[in-house]
């Protein structure tokens, strides 16, 4: 599977260079004094949020990352050069935590954000640092400080405004391809989607939101059944969930209401906070239901499910009903974004 959303790495910043013991030697200057320089700083390890990446696959096969150590100090008052830093490019939305304790250390949430995940050791002092009126020929020096070494766990949670969830073959991939620029694999069999797909939905000039299509869930997903449980974490940062339901399954023995209840149950088991997120019901594949039967089928489904939130009827294949849904989703996302913004303090001099 090309999509990798979890990896373990070992990082080591560079050690500092050792200080130097040296004395000035010139003709006619018998006691030139100490001139041993300090060692150079060890290289740092940085992490940068790269918006062009969407997987941690590079770290699956390259686990060890080590910066260069600082150069040792030299005579003639020469300090050692600092060790070369290294920068690790990670997808936006990566969580960096301690592999042993599980403590979350950093989160890369903004494109271009740079953080220092391991600091290089400081260089040691040369003997010129220890010169004084009573110690004119010091022979002391200090070794360089060791750089930080860490065992880290990288976990990717995609940054999307809207998440699609539903049973396999509910039409999620068809929907995201109909309303966004994403082109996921679409086929007439379940589990077509094997990894998350992100799409940008353009509503108007400078008006858009990001939607994530995840592999379909099945009953028991929270305990590890199927593929969807591996990617439920990607829904935790969304602002709105769209529960896509196949209203016209090929197998007449399949009850869409029972499937919808199973999905809701899996959300609650996996994460109660995820269960409490705003969730809208999207009844898909209306094109497969006769026009005169649609209203009754929808009414019966909503009544049996006892769903109280917004309900939308669409056909992702023919795009019927997709535009009103997209507009409503954008307004909801926009309202939540405004609510999450901290209030702006106005200077009383200009109020």
Q: Could you tell me the two tokens for 245? A: 């339901």
Do 105 and 36 belong together in one domain?
yes
Query: Of 156, 188, 219, which closes a domain?
Result: 156
Q: Give the CATH number of the domain where residue 286 resides.
A: 3.40.50.300
The answer to whether residue 296 sits within a structural domain is: yes
What contacts 346, CB < 8 A, 6 or more positions away?
none
Residue 63 has pLDDT above 80, yes or no: yes
Range scoring the smallest mean pLDDT among 44-53, 62-71, 196-205: 196-205
Residue 184 has pLDDT above 60, yes or no: no
Query: Of 133, 156, 179, which closes a domain?
Result: 156
The answer to whether residue 350 sits within a structural domain is: no
The rounded distance, in Å, linking the Cα atoms of 223 and 270 is 8
Do 333 and 217 belong together in one domain?
yes
Do 149 and 182 belong together in one domain?
no
Q: List the one residue out of 118, 119, 123, 148 whose CA is nearest residue 41.
A: 123
Do 200 and 115 belong together in one domain?
no
Do 182 and 132 belong together in one domain?
no
Kindly report the backbone phi and psi dihedral angles of residue 14, in degrees, each rounded to the nearest multiple of 5, phi listed first.
-75, 145
pLDDT digits (tens, 9 = 90+) for 35-45: 899 999 999 99
Token pair 């099945």 is at which residue? 218
Q: Which long-range contacts (CB under 8 A, 24 or more apart) does 317-324 make?
A: 317/171, 317/174, 317/178, 317/285, 317/287, 318/287, 319/178, 319/179, 320/286, 320/287, 321/286, 322/175, 322/178, 322/179
Do 121 and 145 belong together in one domain?
yes
Structural domain boundaries, residue 252:
162-340
Q: List the one residue out of 289, 6, 279, 30 whose CA is nearest residue 136.
A: 30
Do 44 and 186 belong together in one domain?
no
Q: In total, how many domains does the chain have?
A: 2
pTM above 0.75, yes or no: no
The rounded distance, in Å, linking the Cα atoms of 297 and 305 is 12
The answer to whether residue 185 sits within a structural domain is: yes
Mean pLDDT of 249-265: 81
Kindly report the backbone phi and psi dihedral angles of residue 124, in degrees, each rounded to the nearest multiple of 5, phi listed first.
-75, 160
Q: Give the CATH number of the domain where residue 42 resides.
A: 2.70.210.12
The answer to whether residue 242 sits within a structural domain is: yes
The answer to whether residue 351 sits within a structural domain is: no
Query: Of 105, 139, 156, which closes a domain?
Result: 156
Kindly report the backbone phi and psi dihedral angles of residue 90, in degrees, each rounded to the nearest multiple of 5, phi listed first.
-130, 155
Residue 17 has pLDDT above 90, yes or no: yes
Q: Which pLDDT band holds residue 342 (cuts at 50, 70, 90)?
A: low
pLDDT digits (tens, 9 = 90+) for 281-332: 999 888 888 888 888 888 888 888 888 888 998 888 888 888 999 899 888 8
Do 53 and 144 belong together in one domain?
yes
The answer to whether residue 84 sits within a structural domain is: yes
What is the residue-averaged pLDDT of the chain? Answer: 82
Do 123 and 212 belong together in one domain?
no
Kindly report the backbone phi and psi dihedral angles of residue 319, in degrees, each rounded to the nearest multiple of 5, phi listed first.
65, 15
The answer to whether residue 192 sits within a structural domain is: yes
Please say whether the beta carbons of 205 and 130 come within 8 A.
no
């Amino acid at each position: 599977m090309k999509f990798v959303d979890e990896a373990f790495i070992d990082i080591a910043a560079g050690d500092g260079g050792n200080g130097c013991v040296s004395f000035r030697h010139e003709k006619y200057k018998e006691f030139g004094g100490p001139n041993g320089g300090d060692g150079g700083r060890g290289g740092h390890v940085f992490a940068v949020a790269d918006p062009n990446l969407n997987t941690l696959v590079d770290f699956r096969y390259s686990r060890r990352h080590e910066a260069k150590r600082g150069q040792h100090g030299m005579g003639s008052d020469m300090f050692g050069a600092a060790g070369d830093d290294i920068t690790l490019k990670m997808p936006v939305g990566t969580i960096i935590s301690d592999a042993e304790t599980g403590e979350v250390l950093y989160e890369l949430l903004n494109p271009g954000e740079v953080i220092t995940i391991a600091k290089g050791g400081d260089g040691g002092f040369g003997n010129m640092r220890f010169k004084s009126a009573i110690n004119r020929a010091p022979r002391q020096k200090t070794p360089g400080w060791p750089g930080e070494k860490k065992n880290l766990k990288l976990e990717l949670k995609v940054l999307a405004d809207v998440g699609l969830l539903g049973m396999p073959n509910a039409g999620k991939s068809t929907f995201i391809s109909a309303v966004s620029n994403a082109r996921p694999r679409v086929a007439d069999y379940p589990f077509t989607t094997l990894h998350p797909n992100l799409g940008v939905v353009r509503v108007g000039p400078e008006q858009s939101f990001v939607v994530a299509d995840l592999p379909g869930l099945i009953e028991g997903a929270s305990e590890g059944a199927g593929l969807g449980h591996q990617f439920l974490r990607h829904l935790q940062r969304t602002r709105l969930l769209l529960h896509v339901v196949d209203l016209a399954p090929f197998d007449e023995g399949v009850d869409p209401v029972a499937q919808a209840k199973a999905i809701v149950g899996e959300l609650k088991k996996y994460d109660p906070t995820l269960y409490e997120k705003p969730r809208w019901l999207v009844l898909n594949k209306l094109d497969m239901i006769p026009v005169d039967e649609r209203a009754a089928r929808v009414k019966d489904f909503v009544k049996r499910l006892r769903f109280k939130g917004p309900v939308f009827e669409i056909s992702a294949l023919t795009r019927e009903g997709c535009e009103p849904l997209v507009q409503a989703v954008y307004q909801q996302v926009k309202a939540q974004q405004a609510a999450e913004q901290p209030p702006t303090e106005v200077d009383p001099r200009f109020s």
